[in-house]
Structure 1
Amino acid sequence: MTNTQNFAGWRRVFYGLRTRIIMWYVLLMTCSTTLTVFAVRQVLSVRLEERSKQILVQEVTEFRQLFAGYRELDCCEINDLFDDFLSRNIPVDGQFMVTFINGKFYKASPTALPETLARDKNLLKRWSRITKPQKGEKITPKDNIRYFAIPVNIDGENPGVFVVMHSTESELKKLNEVTVVMVLVTLMILVIAAVVIWAVGGRVLRPLRLLTATAHSISGSNVGERIAVEGSDDIAELTMTFNAMLDRLEAAFTSQRNFINDAGHELRTPITIIRGHLELLGDDPEEQKETLAIVTDELDRMSRLVNDLLLLAKAERPDFLNLETVDVEVFTEELFAKAKALGDRHWQIESQAFCLILADRQRLTQAMMNLAQNAVQHTKREDAIFLGSAVKNNEVYFWVRDTGEGIPPTEQKRIFERFARVANSRRRSEGYGLGLAIVKAIVEAHEGRVELESELGKGATFLLILPIEVASNIK
């Protein structure tokens, strides 16, 4: 394997559709997860702040209620008030209560204050001397302490201060741990999901790789490959569309190949005749006149052949038909009038349909005249030829029936092929065997079909069956 092939292989891996899908998935999931983790953290932080404030308000409210009861007694000292309250209230996690009497530290619950607060002597001194309630917050890199301090005075001689505070250090640690766990779990999910998507994506995109491989293998001599359709999703629809495109390509290549083969095969004989006569052409004026007549006749035959082959090639083009509304009754009469001029036979109209169809009048006339000419060539003067039209099962039938020699069963299928002629026929056609192929092409362009009924010695009936309501996608 060359370096270029190696590079192309790695490029498909890193820039392939499956890789891009996974990269976009990981990017979107990372963004959404980041936003989710940030939002959850913010919500938890707000709830933590609200809880901290509620704890302070609740403790101060309970202390004030106890303080009001002591003032009604008017006989207790402030240290009894502090002792009583601290003994009744057990602090929750992160909660601290500190008391001061006469500007000096008295008691705390729990006794061990937060490290941040214990080192801040100035804050403790400021609390011990307040004369009005204060609320505040002390923020450090590792902690966030909220406090509520109120002055207390029972007898007017020993002023005190009660301070309740709440530290969020432990909650912040838990919040950080939860955040880390969420990030790790998300990363693990992303890795697992990426592996699953890579495997599933390979199966889902397999039809696309088959499309690519099939497209690379297509050539003018190989358009027969098709891809199996699985499921009913967008990729299955794409596969069906691709197969339909291959069908059209195969039909186009087949038509082109047939045209080349047919033209080469059938033009070889008249060209040989013309060349032979021109090579033997002498100086005798009478001989030159005969040779010129032969050459002209062969050129006319070649011209008719080329026109017929071009007509068959055009039959597969979208603009082959010029559709118009056709009155079948009037059209049948026109066909009969034109057919009678083709030969001295017993011509008759069997029936006429009364309906309107959407069709190409000229092409249908050409098809029916080909059938009538074919009937003349395979009948005798005493034979009869019948034309007619009828409506049956929402379809219109045109037919040409004769009482001639008939067509053998073994020949009935192949006579619609190009250059096909009935073997062992008593009468030989002057054409190239393209007439019935042209009839079939014209009828199929109208989304119809051709049927043949024949017995040896009893004649033949050719039926052209067309839909009365022609679909809009007609060729």
Structure 2
Amino acid sequence: MTTTDRRPEVGVPPEPAPQASGADRTVVDGPPRVAARRWLVPARARIMGWMLLLMAVVSLTVTVVTRNLLMQRVDVEVSAALQQEIQELEEVARGGVDRATQQPFQDVYELLYNHLQRQFPDDDEVLVGWDGTPETGSPLRQTRAEPFPLADRLDVLRSVLVSPVNSGSIETDAGEMRWVKVPIIHPTNPDDVGAFVVGYFIDRDRAEVNQTMQTLILVSLLGLLFAGIAAWVIAGQILAPVRLVRRAAAEITEHDLTQRIPIHGKDDIAALSEQFNAMLDRLEQAFAAQRQFVDDASHELRTPITIVRGHLELMGDDPADRAAVVRLCTDELDRMNRIVADLLLLAKSERPDFVRTAPVEITELTSDIYAKVRAIGERDWRLEAIGEGVAHVDQQRVTQAMVQLAQNAVQHTRDGDEVLIGSSMMEGRIAFWVTDHGPGVPYADQGKIFDRFSRGSTGGAPGHRTGAGLGLAIVSAIAEAHGGVVRLVSTPGEGASFGIDLPAYRGGPR
């Protein structure tokens, strides 16, 4: 039987559409890409699609494997049935005795007739004896209904008899017939010959297998339908927190970073929500730092700008007056430059590369700091303690912080007052400090003097109001960038001790 494959060819690209001429061709950049993204398949549908595809592949594989196994089983059973019929005939021929009369068979005809009358083949089997040669002999049939009248179809029967092999397959009006034959020769008369033919029509068994496969395919399709519904529901439940994340992200603006995602459980979605909330915390801090920088800069720069503008507007023609105005404007511009530099330094402190740690000898670092701070003011500088060991810190940033603390001590003390510098290292931590005997820090100010533009009360210190209130904020930023903290020990009226406490090995090998 010949079949024609009408399936479309796979892998053949479609013919390209005719291109427009140069005058008609239009180049489009961004908008079409954005519009195309709106038609992307949602994640929920993709999850359901992949699950259905996986189940369809599994079902198809199971169906194909099951069909092949069942077809092989049919072939094995058919072969076994044919061999059984042949073995029964061979046993009768080998005995050579009629079991009813216990007399030897007189000829091949009697053997075949006797054997055919005692056989009860299956509904799909047909048994035929042949007495004589294929050209001149005649068939012997059973007196029962047969699936195919093989004894009457001499063209088919003779094609089996003349075949050089003893088994094979042939197409008939009733379908494919598997057959085996046994040539028979009388033991005492070589001219007395015949054959025994057994045929089995296999189409009905194959039809049963195909019917079973149809049932299996129908059940698989129903299973895929229910699996698709279940996959849609389950995917919706799994992606519900993700949709919550998306909605929260859509509601977040530069002016509202307070949205947070509730965390339930300890699975991957909970971890995603936790990381998203942590990202929002960082964004909120970044935006807050940005707004604070802008507010602080505008607030602090407004005063020197106003002073400079006012004096320039009132400046007369007197040379002495002009010189005084120029000197005042220069001082205000210098102060403005210091404020900008400090604000930029604080803004940079939010970056991960603000500090670059390296192995530093604490003894040498403390000596260098002591040598530098002595030039800040006429004070009785004393080196109280020196730590010993190697720490991984940013030498320049630590020096900057200590110089700032020393400058703060100078502003709160008078000429000749004692100021102590010290360092220590123990149990994996390193500490630097500056101690003075000035007015100290009031208890009400100790919690806020490290904030930006916070100067606290004067306490009678003559130079306390000369800065912009950014020095201690810079010290705090340097300590935090190292993973450390700032320390303050002060009793009002008895002086103060400012310091930084840093991990000795953060950022490098121990």
The TM-score normalised by the length of structure 2 is 0.82
When structure 1 is superposed on structure 2, of 184-193 and 19-28 the one drifting more is 19-28
1:63-142 equivalences under 5 Å are: 63-70=89-96, 74-76=104-106, 78=108, 80-82=110-112, 84-86=114-116, 88-92=118-122, 94-101=124-131, 103-108=137-142, 111-115=144-148, 117=150, 120-124=153-157, 134-139=166-171
| Distance in 2 (alpha carbons) for counterparts of 1:116 and 1:273 | 124
Aligned-residue offset at 1:209: 2.2
Structure 1 counterpart SS, 2:360: strand
1:444-463 equivalences under 5 Å are: 444-463=480-499
Aligned pair partner of 1:366 in 363, 376, 400:
400
The one-letter code sitting in structure 2 at the alignment partner of 1:256 is Q
> Taking structure 1 as reference, are residues 272 and 91 closer, same or farther at Cα in structure 2, changes over 3 Å only?
same
Aligned pair partner of 1:20 in 46, 49, 52:
46
| Distance in 2 (alpha carbons) for counterparts of 1:263 and 1:75 | 126
Matched, 1:149 2:181: yes
| Distance in 2 (alpha carbons) for counterparts of 1:141 and 1:377 | 118
Aligned-residue offset at 1:76: 4.0
The one-letter code sitting in structure 1 at the alignment partner of 2:444 is T
For structure 2, list consecutive stretches of 5 or more residues without a partner in the other structure.
1-33
Q: Deviations over 1:430-463 (max 9, x none)?
A: 1011000000111111121112222222222222
Matched, 1:192 2:222: no
Aligned-residue offset at 1:229: 4.5
When structure 1 is superposed on structure 2, of 273-282 and 76-85 the one drifting more is 76-85
Aligned-residue offset at 1:313: 0.8
> Taking structure 1 as reference, are residues 333 and 125 closer, same or farther at Cα in structure 2, changes over 3 Å only?
closer
Aligned pair partner of 2:66 in 40, 44, 69:
40
For structure 1, list consecutive stretches of 5 or more residues without a partner in the other structure.
1-7
Aligned-residue offset at 1:120: 4.2
Preserved CA contact (<8 Å) 2:392 2:508: no
Aligned position for 1:173: 207
| Distance in 2 (alpha carbons) for counterparts of 1:234 and 1:211 | 13
Structure 1 counterpart SS, 2:439: coil
Aligned pair partner of 1:375 in 406, 409, 412:
409
When structure 1 is superposed on structure 2, of 364-373 and 200-209 the one drifting more is 200-209
> Taking structure 1 as reference, are residues 312 and 14 closer, same or farther at Cα in structure 2, changes over 3 Å only?
closer
| Distance in 2 (alpha carbons) for counterparts of 1:13 and 1:207 | 22
Aligned position for 2:505: 469
Structure 1 counterpart SS, 2:457: coil
| Distance in 1 (alpha carbons) for counterparts of 2:302 and 2:359 | 42
| Distance in 2 (alpha carbons) for counterparts of 1:258 and 1:241 | 25
> Taking structure 1 as reference, are residues 252 and 320 closer, same or farther at Cα in structure 2, changes over 3 Å only?
same
Aligned-residue offset at 1:382: 6.3
Aligned position for 1:3: none
| Distance in 1 (alpha carbons) for counterparts of 2:296 and 2:349 | 16
The one-letter code sitting in structure 2 at the alignment partner of 1:53 is S
When structure 1 is superposed on structure 2, of 281-290 and 111-120 the one drifting more is 111-120
| Distance in 2 (alpha carbons) for counterparts of 1:140 and 1:23 | 47
Preserved CA contact (<8 Å) 1:94 1:169: no
| Distance in 2 (alpha carbons) for counterparts of 1:116 and 1:450 | 109
The one-letter code sitting in structure 2 at the alignment partner of 1:123 is V
> Taking structure 1 as reference, are residues 281 and 118 closer, same or farther at Cα in structure 2, changes over 3 Å only?
farther
What percent identity do the matched residue pairs reach? Answer: 39
Aligned pair partner of 1:202 in 215, 233, 236:
236
> Taking structure 1 as reference, are residues 205 and 308 closer, same or farther at Cα in structure 2, changes over 3 Å only?
same
| Distance in 1 (alpha carbons) for counterparts of 2:195 and 2:385 | 122
Aligned pair partner of 1:438 in 463, 468, 474:
474
RMSD: 3.1
| Distance in 2 (alpha carbons) for counterparts of 1:220 and 1:131 | 92
> Taking structure 1 as reference, are residues 424 and 137 closer, same or farther at Cα in structure 2, changes over 3 Å only?
same
Matched, 1:51 2:51: no
When structure 1 is superposed on structure 2, of 331-340 and 173-182 the one drifting more is 331-340
1:379-458 equivalences under 5 Å are: 379-381=413-415, 383-423=417-457, 425-427=459-461, 428-458=464-494
Aligned pair partner of 2:329 in 285, 292, 295:
295
Aligned-residue offset at 1:82: 3.8
1:223-372 equivalences under 5 Å are: 223-230=257-264, 235-372=269-406
The TM-score normalised by the length of structure 1 is 0.87
| Distance in 2 (alpha carbons) for counterparts of 1:448 and 1:244 | 21
Q: Deviations over 1:246-273 (max 9, x none)?
A: 3333332222211110011011111111
Aligned-residue offset at 1:161: 3.6
